[in-house]
Amino acid sequence: MLNQQTDLDRLFNALADPARRAMVERLSRGPAPVSELAKPLPMSLPSVMQHLGVLEAAGLVRSEKVGRVRTCAIEPGALSLAEQWINARRTQWEHQFDRLGAYLASLPEEKEPDDAD
């Protein structure tokens, strides 16, 4: 439970940055070398590597260096954890609205005022 809390902390923190989300968006379309991830981002390569480190620590991305090229790929499992947490909240509040609906339906109907008066 504590571990899952830490996982969710790292995961949501990793997603709380536009550059890191842009990297995840690119990698969701397929693996890419770091140089390609860096190209659209307005920052130095060391900054990109730092963001990559945050994504890897959160389990969102893995990378492998072959020769001089480091290739990155998405790890779908981590995003699923975030998705599950959000879905569980949705289930809870939909249940809450269902109960509210049932309560409102159970109220005695208000009598229409008589038009003939």
* Contact residues: a copy of itself, CB under 8 A: 5, 8-13, 15-18, 21, 24-25, 28-30, 74, 76, 79, 82-83, 85-87, 89-90, 92-93, 96
The distance of closest approach from Cβ of residue 70 to a copy of itself in the complex, given in angstroms and rounded to an integer, is 20
Q: Which is nearer to a copy of itself, 88 or 116 (CB)?
A: 88
Q: Which is nearer to a copy of itself, 100 or 111 (CB)?
A: 100
Length of the chain equals 117
Q: What is the separation of C-alpha 86 from the centre of its chain, rounded to a whole number of angstroms?
A: 8
The distance of closest approach from Cβ of residue 116 to a copy of itself in the complex, given in angstroms and rounded to an integer, is 41
Q: Which is nearer to a copy of itself, 89 or 111 (CB)?
A: 89
Q: Which is nearer to a copy of itself, 44 or 96 (CB)?
A: 96
CA atoms of 53 and 101, how far apart (whole Å): 47
The distance of closest approach from Cβ of residue 15 to a copy of itself in the complex, given in angstroms and rounded to an integer, is 4
